[in-house]
Amino acid sequence: MSSTAPGAVSVRGLGLRYGAARILDDVGFEVAPGEVLALLGPSGCGKTTLLQLVAGLLAPTAGTIQIMGATVADASGAAFVPPEARGLGMVFQDYALWPHMSVAANVAFPLEMRGVPAAERRMRVAMALERVGLGAMAGRRPSELSGGQQQRVALARAIVAEPPLVLFDEPLSNLDPELREAMVAEIGTLVGQLGLTAIYVTHDRAEAFALADKVAVMRAGRIAQLAAPETLIGSPASAEVAEFLNLGCVLPADRADAEWRIAGTTMSLGDGGPEGRTAQTLLPGRSIRLGPVEEGRPHADVLRTRFRGDGYLLTLRICGTAFEIQVPSPHRANVGDVVGLFCPPQDLRWFASATA
Ligand SMILES: Nc1ncnc2c1ncn2[C@@H]1O[C@H](COP(=O)(O)OP(=O)(O)OP(=O)(O)O)[C@@H](O)[C@H]1O
């Protein structure tokens, strides 16, 4: 796609304030047609607020939102298209189904809103229910379905009118972990088959990485990094992002002559890193190999060991510091063991010091 083609969604300089409180600040992103963007971040970072702005449930106090090239919100007052006129599909955490209506009537609702004739409605509802594996449940009430089935109904309702954009707000958080994993796979298949353009809000890294082409990591009302999942893992933009993604242990480092030393110990990680006398370095859990304790290498105490089926997950405390790291290991280790840590220098990620 050429860089000048209009995005399915284009958000620029978006902000929302409630009085003096800045809930969102200078948020910008593009979603290309057929792309899935995940908004990932801890509770309270503004994910849902951002989704509600795109949906038209809130109006921004700064910036613009375009959907398929049309401006649907402009804080300067030039435009505000109400939610029902944006024609988007939405899937919420609590399913938001009408209890007094049948499954088929729930799914038919967006088509009714668009004035689609009854015969075509019936056909499209049947197709949408078939797609989510609920063809046989059309006549039931939502209360006669399991949580997973109810969320499939919501999914069918979100796609039945073939909207230009589907918004997902933590759709799986009410389901138990096993079902959640199965539903992630189902949503991924559906999104792929239908070529859906979507924005998917979650605080679950695995869910975001499994479903999204791009992930916006949000912190305190801003996008801290927006990148493909592989880039986030390999090149987190800041110590904050690395910590939120649980990529390993971020340690303060001091330059001593030609070497870096960590947390005031004599551990040396070799040369490299940014300019200046202090920095932070990410020791990525997935790059660490365990071995014997050796002079001049970091070592760690084993705090916990957990069997995972394919090996062990060890929780280690680095060299008498307060810093902990989780490291996968094919071998069992005992609580209290001291192990040497080996990390290829090229796998370390360096960040400017927090206090710099
Ligand atoms: N009507 C409101 N008035 C004032 N502050 C609000 C209002 N609605 C939300 N907030 C605040 O805005 C911030 C962002 O809320 P939002 O629900 O978008 O976060 P979130 O990342 O979706 O969190 P969660 O995962 O817990 O839903 C929070 O600090 C919240 O307290």
Distance of CA 218 from the midpoint of ligand 1 (Å): 13
Of 268, 270, 267, nearest in space to 319 by CA = 267
**Ligand 1 test: best mutation among 45, 52, 205, most atoms within 8 Å of CB?**
45
The tokens of 334 are what? 């005992």
Residue 253's pLDDT band (boundaries 50, 70, 90)?
Answer: confident
Q: Would you state the pLDDT for residue 297? A: 76
> Cβ of 205: how many Cβ atoms within 10 Å?
19
pLDDT on residue 345? 79
Specify the pLDDT at position 263. Answer: 56
Residue 139 exposed, middle or buried by CB count within 10 Å (0-12, 13-18, 19+): exposed
| Burial (Cβ within 10 Å: 0-12, 13-18, ≥19) of residue 253 | buried
Q: Residue of the nearest CA to atom 25 in ligand 1? A: 43
Choice between 208 and 262, residue whose per-residue pLDDT is larger: 208
What is the rounded average pLDDT of the residues 338-356? 81
Gap from CA of 176 to ligand 1 centroid (Å): 24
Nearest atom in ligand 1 to the alpha carbon of residue 203 is 25
Choose one of 49, 173, 203 to mutate for the ligand 1 pocket test, by most ligand atoms within 8 angstroms of C-beta.
49
Q: For ligand 1, what atom is nearest to the CA of residue 45?
A: 21
CA–CA gap between residue 169 and residue 317 (Å, rounded): 37
Q: Which atom of ligand 1 is nearest to the CA of 51?
A: 18
Domain boundaries, the chain: 9-234, 247-352
* Lining residues, ligand 1, CB within 6 Å: 18, 21, 23, 41, 43-49, 203
Taking residues 327-349, what's their average pLDDT?
A: 89
pLDDT at 269: 59
Gap between the Cα atoms of 14 and 218, Å rounded: 14
Read off the pLDDT of each residue in 47-52 and give the average, rounded to a whole number: 96
Flag whether pLDDT at 132 surpasses 70. yes
| 304 burial type by CB count under 10 A (0-12 exposed, 13-18 middle, 19+ buried) | middle
Give me the chain's average pLDDT, please: 89
- Over 90: is that where the pLDDT of 217 sits? yes
CA 131 to ligand 1 center in whole angstroms? 34
- Read off the pLDDT band of 301 (50, 70, 90): very high
Tokens 């800041």 sit at which residue? 238
> What's the rounded mean pLDDT across residues 183-189?
90
276 versus 208: the higher-pLDDT residue is 208
Give the Cα separation of 23 and 39 in Å (integer): 15
Let me know how many helices (H) and strands (E) the chain has, helices first.
9, 20
Does the domain at 9-234 match CATH 3.40.50.300? Answer given as yes
- Sequence-distant (6+) residues with CB within 8 A of 98 are 105, 106, 109, 142
d(CA 126, CA 179): 24
Concatenating the DSSP letter of every residue in 19-53 gives: TTEEEEEEEEEEE-TT-EEEEE--TTSSHHHHHHH
Look at residue 356 and tell me whether its pLDDT is greater than 50: no
Interval between CA 48 and ligand 1 midpoint (Å): 7
Q: Per-residue pLDDT tens for 15-43? A: 999 988 999 999 999 999 999 999 999 99
Full-model pTM: 0.89
Closest protein CA for atom 5 of ligand 1: 18
pLDDT mean over 103-117: 93
